[in-house]
Amino acid sequence: MSKDNDLKPDEIRKIIWGLSVRRSRLAKKLYTPSQMIEGCIHKIYKKCGNPKCYCKDGKKHGPYWALSKKTGGKTKIAYISDTGTIKKAFAYKKYNKDLARLRKVNEKIFYWLRIIRDKNTSVYEK
């Protein structure tokens, strides 16, 4: 990105500062997680198999909440109905999304720091 290399060091520092503020907010959220349950939460609709039921032609039963988790190479699914458990599963999902956002912000900061490094680096010739 030659356009990024054309920026002045002060402009790059402002970008890095903004990213650092964003990183601090994300990190602060991640420092104090709420209670979580490990697994992936799913909303499931099913057919019951009764030939006289309305679900045989279209609309399925549900939604049912299920939590899936891989253990020993196999995926285990547990149906859950407790709202507290569902909230904890969503908290786990949100925490992982925030971790991914933090990683992306860090990558952007490293990108800009490398540009600053390259702007101030010359080749040694004898």
Kindly list the domain boundaries of the chain, sorted by start residue: 2-119
Return the pLDDT at 110.
96
Instruction: Please state whether the predicted TM-score (pTM) of the whole model is above 0.75.
Output: yes
- The answer to whether the beta carbons of residues 95 and 101 sit under 8 Å apart is no
Mean pLDDT of the chain: 92
User: Which residues 6+ apart lie within 8 Å of 68 measured at CB?
Assistant: 39, 40, 42, 75, 76, 77, 78
Return the pLDDT at 66.
95
List, for the chain, all residue ranges whose pLDDT scores fall below the cut of 70. 1-2
Nearest by Cα to 54 from 66, 46, 43: 46
Return the pLDDT at 61.
93
For 50, half-sphere exposure in the C-beta direction (CA atoms, 13 angstrom radius) is 7
Distance CA 46, CA 49 (A): 9
